[in-house]
């Protein structure tokens, strides 16, 4: 029997009342994830628990590498069962890691399996879950609907095929799937294959030989995204770069298109200008910006060459760009073109700096126009979420917070929303019981409901 109990992470009676009375049954709006929309459209039944649980989930891969597992049992040619058993073996002693909690909850919530995950029970869990999958014909649609998900924002590059989203609408699912506009592959001018990415964008728009051509192509594609319902964009940078001029960016772009790799300085010149241009564009069309800061990507060149991007070799950056972020926001704000923005910070020592910065640019255009995004990636664990809530309440206003997301490629990641909701309710319940805030349960409960779902729906302009 699993160690996960009904009051998991809820350490007092008030926390339990908040969670079960207000948080638990609220719908889910996953406003930033990396689910493959084609998989949702095809809606094919899964063959085994590995395919749903481990394939493509670099959170789990990273944990296995930390244990010293041979890559053959992670992304190599070992059988699905061998990889599954290996993961269960690793997880059995990963005390305190969020995967230790998430994985146990996922098995119970999606497969009705309450057996504790460890090496001894791995084969029994494999058999039980696979029997459940075979009997119930588990598909992406069933997993999403059973999780009470109402809206999903996938993350899509500017040249992705948008017809998939129209076809999903025709399916009549009980949830919506909408692309968030992402231009990172066009921004990362120093990347291998950059000319090819620009070429893909040109194929959908017009020839691109200058920064003016690129700007027009990006606006063209944003309008195409908006036609299928897009209301959000995504920008991911290790750090915000200085805002430069179109002329400087043009020179760097022409150099890259000629086949010459830009220098580090030139790369930052281009990224600084394009970040500024994109946020102006998003403000023009009332598209919210999800700005992710602080990830140092592709640290391991050997594994990047072997496995490619997004396979578990990124980390937290120590680069501080708070001054340049301030200058970016201030320039946009002075021009009346600062969009609604959610800042996701990956370096926890910068929490208060970023939280106080966004507080300098609020307005009555939207409640919580400038948002401090939820604890993200390496921080979406118990310690990271609790620290995030402490910093948010100390320097901001928790009642307008847009709540949690999955940021995941896994269809089984929705329990992360409930993980967050339990931590949120425990945080508020603890203050209520200590007499540090009102003890009006219904009053606080409404705030909890809003954080869990209503605030994000209102922020992005979706239907409740």
To the nearest whole number, what is the mean pLDDT of the chain? Answer: 96
Cβ neighbours for 152, distance < 8 A, ≥ 6 positions apart: 30, 33, 35, 40, 144, 175, 176, 177, 178
**Stretch 5-29: mean pLDDT:** 98
Cβ neighbours for 134, distance < 8 A, ≥ 6 positions apart: none
Percent of the chain's residues with pLDDT above 70: 100
The DSSP symbol for 240 reads P
Cβ neighbours, 10 Å, residue 435: 8
Packing angle of the helix pair 264-284, 246-257 (nearest 10 deg): 120
pLDDT in tens, 380-429: 999 999 999 999 999 999 999 999 999 999 999 999 999 999 999 999 99
pLDDT at residue 320, rounded to an integer: 85
CA-to-CA distance for 79 and 66, rounded, in angstroms? Answer: 21
* pLDDT tier for residue 172 given thresholds of 50, 70 and 90: very high
Residues constituting the chain: 464
3-state secondary structure of 151: strand
| C-alpha distance from residue 336 to each of 165, 170, 232, 330, 339 (Å) | 32, 38, 19, 10, 9
CA-to-CA distance for 257 and 194, rounded, in angstroms? Answer: 8
* pLDDT tier for residue 446 given thresholds of 50, 70 and 90: very high
| Structure token digits, residue 360 | 């300098």
Contact 419, 101 (CB under 8 A): yes
* pLDDT tier for residue 309 given thresholds of 50, 70 and 90: confident
pLDDT at residue 192, rounded to an integer: 86
| C-alpha distance from residue 235 to each of 110, 125, 155 (Å) | 32, 39, 10
Residue 377 has pLDDT above 90, yes or no: yes
CA-to-CA distance for 35 and 137, rounded, in angstroms? Answer: 20
**What are the b/e assignments for 141-150, b being 16+ CB within 10 Å?**
bbbbeebbbb
Q: Choose among 109, 66, 110, 116: nearest CA to 88.
A: 116
Residue 1 has pLDDT above 90, yes or no: no
pLDDT at residue 322, rounded to an integer: 96
Three-state secondary structure string covering 56-98: CCHHHHHHHHHCCCCHHHCCCCCCHHHHHHHHHHHHCCCCCCH
**Stretch 329-354: mean pLDDT:** 97
Cβ neighbours for 327, distance < 8 A, ≥ 6 positions apart: 242, 243
CA-to-CA distance for 295 and 364, rounded, in angstroms? Answer: 31
Cβ neighbours, 10 Å, residue 169: 13
| Structure token digits, residue 9 | 């992470």
pLDDT at residue 310, rounded to an integer: 86
pLDDT in tens, 37-55: 999 999 999 999 999 999 8
pLDDT at residue 282, rounded to an integer: 98
């Amino acid at each position: 029997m699993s160690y996960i109990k009904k009051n998991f992470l809820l350490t007092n009676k008030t926390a339990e009342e908040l969670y079960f009375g207000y948080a638990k049954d609220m719908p889910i709006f996953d406003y930033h994830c990396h689910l493959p929309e084609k998989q949702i459209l095809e809606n094919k039944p899964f063959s085994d628990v590995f395919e749903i649980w481990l394939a493509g989930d670099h959170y789990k891969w990273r944990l296995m590498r930390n244990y010293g597992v041979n890559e053959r049992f992670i992304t190599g040619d070992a059988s699905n069962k061998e990889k599954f058993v290996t993961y269960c073996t690793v997880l059995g002693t990963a005390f305190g890691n969020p995967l230790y909690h998430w994985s146990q909850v996922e098995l119970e919530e999606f497969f009705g399996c309450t057996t504790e995950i460890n090496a001894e029970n791995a084969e029994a869990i494999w058999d039980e879950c696979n029997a459940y999958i075979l009997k119930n014909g588990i598909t992406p649609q069933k997993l999403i609907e059973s999780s009470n998900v109402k809206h999903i924002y996938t993350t899509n590059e500017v040249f992705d095929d948008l017809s998939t989203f129209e076809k999903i609408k025709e399916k009549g699912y009980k949830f919506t799937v909408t692309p968030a506009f992402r231009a990172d592959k066009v921004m990362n001018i120093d990347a291998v294959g950059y000319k090819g990415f620009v070429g893909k964008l040109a194929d959908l728009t017009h020839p691109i030989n200058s920064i003016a051509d690129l700007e027009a192509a990006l606006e063209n594609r944003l309008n195409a995204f908006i036609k299928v319902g897009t209301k959000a964009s995504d920008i991911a940078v290790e750090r915000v770069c200085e805002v430069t001029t179109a002329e400087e960016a043009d020179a760097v772009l022409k150099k890259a298109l000629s086949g010459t790799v830009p220098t580090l300085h030139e790369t930052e010149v281009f990224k600084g200008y394009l970040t500024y241009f994109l946020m102006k564009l998003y403000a023009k069309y009332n598209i919210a910006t999800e700005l992710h800061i602080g990830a140092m990507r592709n640290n391991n060149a050997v594994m990047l060459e072997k496995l490619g991007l997004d396979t578990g070799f990124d980390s937290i950056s120590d680069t501080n760009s708070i001054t340049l972020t301030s200058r970016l926001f201030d320039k946009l704000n002075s021009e009346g073109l600062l969009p609604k923005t959610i800042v996701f910070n990956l370096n926890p020592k910068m929490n208060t700096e970023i939280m106080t910065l966004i507080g300098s640019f609020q307005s009555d255009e939207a409640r919580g126009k400038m948002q401090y995004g939820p604890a993200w990636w390496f921080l979406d664990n118990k310690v990271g979420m609790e620290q995030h809530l402490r910093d948010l309440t100390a320097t901001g206003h928790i009642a307008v917070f847009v709540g949690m997301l999955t940021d995941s490629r896994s269809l089984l990641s929705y329990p992360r929303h409930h993980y967050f909701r339990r931590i949120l309710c425990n945080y508020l319940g603890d203050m209520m019981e200590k007499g540090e805030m009102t003890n009006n349960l219904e009053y606080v409960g409404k705030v909890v409901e809003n954080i869990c779902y209503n605030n994000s729906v209102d922020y992005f302009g979706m239907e409740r």
